[in-house]
Amino acid sequence: MQAINKDANSVLEAEQDANETQDLEDDDKSVKISPYTMMGRNRIGLCSMPKDLDANIMDTLPSVNKSLRNASQAIYLASMSQSRPNDYSTLIKRVSKKGTTNKIVPEPHAIRYDKVSSKAYLSSRAHAAYGAADFVFRDISRRIPDFQPTSILDFGTGPGTAIWAAKNSWPKSLETAVGIDSSEEMLEHADKLSNMPDSGIKDYKGMRYLNYKESFLEHEKHDLVVASFVIGELTSDLIIKATLKALWDQTRGMLVLIDRGTPNGFRHIAEARAAILEMANSNEQLGAHVVSPCSHEKLCPLLVNGKSWCHFSQRVYRNEVVRSITGFKSADHEDIKFSYVAIRRGARPAVTQSKLSTKSALTDLSQLSTNDKSLLQKLSLNWPRVTAPPIKKKKHVIIDMCSSEGQIQRVIATKLSSPFYKDARKLHWGDQWPHPPTSVVQIRAPNADPDSQETDKRGSSPQQTSE
């Protein structure tokens, strides 16, 4: 287990370095790229909480003291954990800047959010949780303008950061919110923050949820149901299954699940994705389809054994108070890694491939006509998603992506042979790739036997295909 954790951490660190280098590379905003690639972009830069929310959180925190700092660091380290304990007795050693100490703190799933730890969460993880939710919601609202939720149910709401992130993406339509959590202290924070005059939420209700057998289905269904960094904290497969069914039954429009960007966090999301799709497509005439990040409903190709897992990164801002409490005084930002899935009721929309009226490249989507933008939004539901930082060499770019066929494919865009080379140079991890490939390397397909295939440096099987 230690070896697996070490490999996973090494991959995360390498991805962070690659992502930071990539942000500085080929980032001239004046360079024109195709409107297709412009629509496929999915980056919001440095994410910051709304000023009013950030200020109210800071007002909630007491002066920085040792107990708050220790609790914040414990929660931060717990969020970096690669494993889930079998029971609440599992403990990990706390690692300080000077090395491993003999002090112990519980893993994330054993943390009980009392007055001190709930405030520690506000200082150490609320900004990161907001950034992950903001990334997901912006991608959905940008590509699916007809989805305008009026109500949200946030399961495991904590201080309500996902509600604020949703309001940021749907400021005009979202009016009603229900926050559910097992911690009374967390619900108090969520109630205070959601009832702020600037929250924009007209009707907020907090509910305490102590047992997975309890039902919250008597309440009306919601357009948007969210469970952010919750699934990985549930302690058994039975509880996870029951919770997923309850959440899907409560969903009128779309269900969004977010978890940590670790191998186990990804596994929780991928298995939940499969379970929800099986429930929806076996018992309902309308079925369901994945909105993001996938462009298919097949088994996740990265769920088979291997070193790769589907996750994304969002850079979030840390203010001075947060840096002081968490001990990261020199770093004004954090790159939050997360896995997620968004599933919408109904079949995947059928889209006929059509040409845009414009043939010119763009620097901004506002240059598109309304009809062209609407067409691109519909087409984007079937575009592959870039699942790792593209490898940008001198005269070619290597892109790994999850295709609409449910395969991880590797595309190589060369300067000499690819008409999309300039677009490839501007591509980032998490973007969509809209162009047809000139050559494809199929890396891993669903139901593949990982023991029967050789693997490349990313832990993927290099089966060559051509188009």
Three-class SS of 422-467: HHHHCCCCCCECCCCCCEEEEEECCCCCHHHCCCCCCCCCCEEEEC
Nearest-CA neighbor of 155 among 280, 253, 243?
243
**Strand pairing report for 288-292 and 312-317:** unpaired
Contact 162, 129 (CB under 8 A): yes
**Strand pairing report for 203-208 and 176-181:** parallel
- Which residues are paired to 224 by β-bridges? 152, 254
Is 420 part of a structural domain of the chain?
Answer: yes
At residue 248, what is the residue type? W
Domain containing 455: what range? 2-34+383-466
Is 455 part of a structural domain of the chain?
Answer: yes
Is 176 part of a structural domain of the chain?
Answer: no
How many residues can be counted in the chain? 467
Nearest-CA neighbor of 276 among 345, 219, 212?
345
Helix 263-283 and helix 237-249: axis angle, to 10°? 50
Residue 402 CA to chain centroid, in angstroms? 16
Contact 105, 91 (CB under 8 A): yes
**Strand pairing report for 251-260 and 91-96:** unpaired
Report d(CA 439, CA 411) in Å as an integer.
6
Is 264 part of a structural domain of the chain?
Answer: no
Report d(CA 371, CA 441) in Å as an integer.
34
Nearest-CA neighbor of 450 among 412, 408, 410?
408
What is the predicted pLDDT for the residue at 458? 43
- Which residues are paired to 208 by β-bridges? 181
Give this prediction's pTM.
Answer: 0.79
Is 28 buried (19+), middle (13-18) or exposed (0-12) by CB count in 10 A?
A: exposed
CA distances from 151 to 140, 208, 299, 326, 417 (A): 16, 19, 30, 34, 49
Count the helices and strands in the chain (H runs, E runs).
13, 16
For the chain, the first-to-last Cα distance in angstroms comes to: 41
Q: Containing H/E element for 225?
A: strand 222-228
Taken in order 413, 415, 420, 423, is the CA torsion positive or negative?
positive
Is 160 part of a structural domain of the chain?
Answer: no
Contact 222, 151 (CB under 8 A): yes
What would the pLDDT profile of 325-360 be if each residue is shown by its tens digit? Answer: 666 666 778 888 999 999 999 988 877 666 655 555
Is 20 part of a structural domain of the chain?
Answer: yes
What is the predicted pLDDT for the residue at 37? 80
User: Residue 251 in 3-state DSSP?
Assistant: strand
Phi/psi at 389 (nearest 5 deg)?
Answer: -60, 125
What is the predicted pLDDT for the residue at 463? 35
Is 423 part of a structural domain of the chain?
Answer: yes
Contact 294, 341 (CB under 8 A): yes
**Strand pairing report for 251-260 and 222-228:** parallel
Is 18 part of a structural domain of the chain?
Answer: yes
373 Cβ neighbours under 8 A, 6+ residues apart: 39, 365
Contact 338, 265 (CB under 8 A): yes
Domains: count for the chain: 1
| Strand blocks (E) in 229-332 | 251-260, 288-292, 312-317
User: Residue 300 in 3-state DSSP?
Assistant: coil
Nearest-CA neighbor of 185 among 177, 174, 193, 176?
193
Q: What is the DSSP letter of 388?
A: S
**Regions of the chain short of the pLDDT cut 70:** 1-31, 62-66, 73-112, 114, 210-219, 283-285, 305-307, 325-330, 352-371, 440, 442, 444-467
Q: Report CA dihedral (63, 67, 72, 74) to the nearest 10 degrees.
A: 170
Report d(CA 337, CA 9) in Å as an integer.
11
At residue 272, what is the residue type? A
Q: What is the largest CA-CA distance in the chain?
A: 66
